[in-house]
Structure 1
Amino acid sequence: MWGLTLSLLGYLNISPVPYLADCVGTTEPALKLLISILAAYPMAVMYHRYIVTHNNLRNIFFIIAGLDMAFYNFGLSMVHNLIPTIVIYVSTMFLPGKFNVILTFVFNMAYLLIGYIVTESEDYDITWTMPHCVLTLKLIALSFDLWDGEKMLKGNERLSETNKKTALVKAPSFSELIGFIYFPSCFLVGPIFSFRRYSDYLNDKFPLHEKHVYNKVAMKRLVQGVAYLIAFQVGVTIFNMKYMLSEEFLETSIFYRHIYCGLWAHFALYKYISCWLLTEASCIRFGLSYNGSEKDGNGVMVSQWDGCSNIKLLRFEFATKFQHYIDSFNCNTNHFAAEYIYKRLKFLGNRHLSQLFTLLFLALWHGIRSGYYMTFFNEFIIIFMEKELESIISKTATYRWLWSTYAKYPMYVLLKLYTIVFMGWSLVPFDVKVFSKWWTVYSALYFSGFLLFLPWAIVYKPLLLNLVRKKSD
């Protein structure tokens, strides 16, 4: 009940948190969030020491710990996270799978959007809508999993192997649902995980006896999370948005502006990466992250503990195209978007249209500000160009020669520079959110991203195809 205790100290005006927030130069809600994320790790240690052997107490522990954390961060506003949970519990009892999916989807997205309208400002707000983002995806996924389980029982429709792993033939009880929603490692910022994983975890289907294995992995992730948090704090003191919105920024060279913007974005993303690493560490320490077993280099079966991983660090840091960023960043949300939005839009018969609607959903899920929609539009046009460009040039002899000789090293540097610069371009609207601010930065960058990516289909692609055709002839 540490959250309740700190909340009481806050009401009595004797909490050290406001003072510490001033010392480190952050806001009180942000520091409370960080304290909560870090607190999940010792909770996991305590769980294995005192709770894990008592089957009837496991789910109760998660409920109490999660509700305590919710009250500490949001006070009575935590009720907003309870309401959709109650709604899906009732709707699951009375509605068949398909209609339950529709109601869950519409109700949760509408509730989230109304929350944004009421609470959102131009700054980065930490309110009850933050965990509600996570909650919305978890409940939508749960409704789809129940529908898939219904299909399995009827046997009239084939499911993919991925859907079979998450399908539910039995609805969760109310207490299980609350424990699933308020699991302390993931309630605030994710990662999202299926109810099937939570149920298997509670029912001893994960090898929790391998403490010496996953403790080591958890500690590694914890150290990485702290390292990225420090790197973020250092990075944002050097590269910040306030400077990019100033007149002084316009006095620098256009090349410098692009590099600065790219490095700002790279360090800005460390904020999310550090949170995901810290939450993953506590998920592993709890034992929730079990992901099957694989053979190591010696042919020995080794347990994998990456089931709640939300970031692939090496792929992210060494990215040379935007697809690498998508594959490595916010993995669980991307998996949700692929499995529950993109693939469910198969009836449209057009993958580009399915991708566009998926990105539109993700933008809407983030908020109502124009910056979110601009960022996901940027992602769409960049990925569209990258995939078509790669499919054309990868068949040429010049491309094969470049990547089979020492020329691959300067090529890597060039592509790395490209990804850093245009990740900065893409992320600016997401960070500042409002049109006037991101338009100001785009003006300072001479709208370079639009000039590079938008004319691809009607200008660059025909020219490239003609060049390749002549070279081939």
Structure 2
Amino acid sequence: MLDNLEFVIILIMTFYDEIVYVLILSSSVASGLLLRSVENSRIKQLLSSSFGLLIVLFLCGWETLHSILSIIGTLCIIKSHNKQTPLLAFIFVFSYLLFFRCSTLFGLPKSSAVGNAVQLLLTLKLISVAIEIHDYRQRKSREKSKDDTPSSRFQLSLQEEPNTYDIICYSYCYVGLFTGPFYKFRTYQDFLDQTVHQSQVIPWKEEILIRFKQISFYAVMYFIATVLFSVDHVRSDAFYESSFLYRLVYMVPIFFLGRMRFYSAWLLAECSFITAAFGAYPKSSNPKPGHGPTVEYDSTEESESIEYSFETIRNINPEGSEWSKTVRDGMRNWNMTVQWWLANYVGKRWPAHLKHFRTAAVLGCSAYWHGIAPGYFGAFLTMPFVMFAEDLLSKLVRQKLNEGNQLQYDWLNWFFKMRSFEYMYMAFALLTWEDTYRWWKSVYFIGHVVCLLVILSCTVVQLLLSKPKRVKKEE
């Protein structure tokens, strides 16, 4: 009996973070079924935000103060009506994120996993709402100068400027509060404005069933793999006494572990949106992950005749992530709403005269957002190097291949895409500079070396092919 109890305790301690997240997400899924029956938008707003804040207070305790200070600081910037509101909000929130990560240097306790997750998602939300409000003010100013001519994209952006209460409620809304997906304030407002009739006719059972089938498979695979493999093994001296091939191949199950864990968590998080009818838009509006509708749609159309899509809150496409042929396409199917945030709030707003550094800036920002551990920067800043090599090789090779050979090349590229992700993910999993450098060194930096050889080879071949032929002199 004691042995069984000890086994249960060990099991709970091993998967403590996973158990906490499963309980949070499961309660969120159940809450959505109740929330969709609430008619009054203000009551729906209060309930959804109160539930989120209560969970944060219960699990994070005093750490909740970090989120409160972040919100207050951002509100002050928004209320100042400064022309540089997006930039100021970006600098403030990301600076506070640095303080949050370095809180132990100021004598504060180390943040919990849940507290870190809340701060991560809140960072995206606060910067986004500041940018949305700034864009709304600019649009209204332009419309006023043109005799109040309404913008053609009015329906796809904010309809009115949110007040302080609205922003606080948006920040603590329980849906996606701990795991994402990220969503704009406009998406949140559309959720509140749904009538009971609309939310009731939006289909959810089939969407949930599809995801539950996937979750059951990925979760089982994750727990099986956890028993067999561990990133802690890579940190041990015994690991480096093994052969080079063993050290290299071990990156395959480590990345498999990470994929199964993220797939399970994100798919379950999507279910909490679906039960609440959060982020559901007509398919005709062509919604995109993170962004929402990209085409005007008639919101007054009879709900029964509409075919709905939850693409706005789609955060992961496991099939696309697994079977896409390139690193670039693989990234587009991974953490999709955050990818949209990075592309639109960093990439598209990056200075034009520094466009050659845009990709590195976006991935560097992503690394910083994930954490300040060197492993994050090692993983994300290796990616532009890999994508550059991949692009050069593809451009060169495809010029000489027929249709059949291109298909073979695609599958060869898929093989190296997976190996590239595995190589980079080892840095993401090991985190510290010592552990990352030790493993990369033990496999002779093979990922970096191969990319460098590909870049040099493609450059030389391209130069030779483009070299003008000498014209023979006529005798």
For Structure 1 versus Structure 2, the TM-score category normalised by the shorter chain is: 0.7 to 0.9
1:282 equivalent in alignment to 2:243: no
1:421 aligns to what SS in structure 2?
helix
1:148 aligns to what SS in structure 2?
helix
Partner of residue 59, structure 1: 45
1:104 equivalent in alignment to 2:89: yes
- Counterpart code for 1:113: L
- How much has 1:307 moved relative to structure 2? 1.3
Partner of residue 81, structure 1: 67
1:23 equivalent in alignment to 2:11: yes
Structure-2 separation of matches of 1:365 and 1:208? 34
- How much has 1:32 moved relative to structure 2? 2.1
1:267 equivalent in alignment to 2:240: no
- Provide the aligned C-alpha RMSD in A: 3.2
1:359 to 348, 356, 363: 363
- How much has 1:330 moved relative to structure 2? 0.6
Q: 1:19 to 1:195 in 2, by over 3 A?
A: farther
Q: 1:172 to 1:284 in 2, by over 3 A?
A: same
- Counterpart code for 1:145: E
Structure-2 separation of matches of 1:137 and 1:75? 22
Q: 1:222 to 1:64 in 2, by over 3 A?
A: farther
- Counterpart code for 1:448: I
Q: 1:183 to 1:437 in 2, by over 3 A?
A: same
CA contact (8 A) 1:149 1:168 kept: yes
1:138 equivalent in alignment to 2:125: yes
CA contact (8 A) 1:148 1:163 kept: no
Partner of residue 163, structure 2: 173
Structure-2 separation of matches of 1:437 and 1:165? 50
Matches within 5 A, 1:415-434: 415-434=413-432
Partner of residue 452, structure 1: 450
Cα deviations by residue, 1:204-246 (Å, 9 ceiling, x for unpaired): 28941324x2232123223423432222222222232122334
Partner of residue 149, structure 1: 136
Q: Which runs of 5+ in 1 are unaligned?
A: 1-17
CA contact (8 A) 1:321 1:419 kept: yes
CA contact (8 A) 1:262 1:424 kept: yes
CA contact (8 A) 2:386 2:420 kept: no
- Counterpart code for 1:403: Q
CA contact (8 A) 1:189 1:275 kept: yes
Partner of residue 224, structure 1: 214
Structure-1 separation of matches of 2:28 and 2:7? 23
Structure-2 separation of matches of 1:240 and 1:163? 50
Partner of residue 347, structure 2: 342
Partner of residue 375, structure 1: 379
Cα deviations by residue, 1:77-130 (Å, 9 ceiling, x for unpaired): 11211222233233322323x332233112111111111112599x99515222
1:39 to 18, 27, 33: 27
1:387 equivalent in alignment to 2:391: yes
CA contact (8 A) 1:371 1:431 kept: yes
Partner of residue 148, structure 2: none
1:312 equivalent in alignment to 2:317: yes
Instruction: Indicate the percent of aligned positions where both proteins have the same amino acid.
Output: 18
Figure out how many residues of one structure are paired with residues of the other and give that number.
Answer: 436
- Counterpart code for 1:463: V
- How much has 1:148 moved relative to structure 2? 1.2
- How much has 1:469 moved relative to structure 2? 5.9
CA contact (8 A) 2:347 2:358 kept: yes
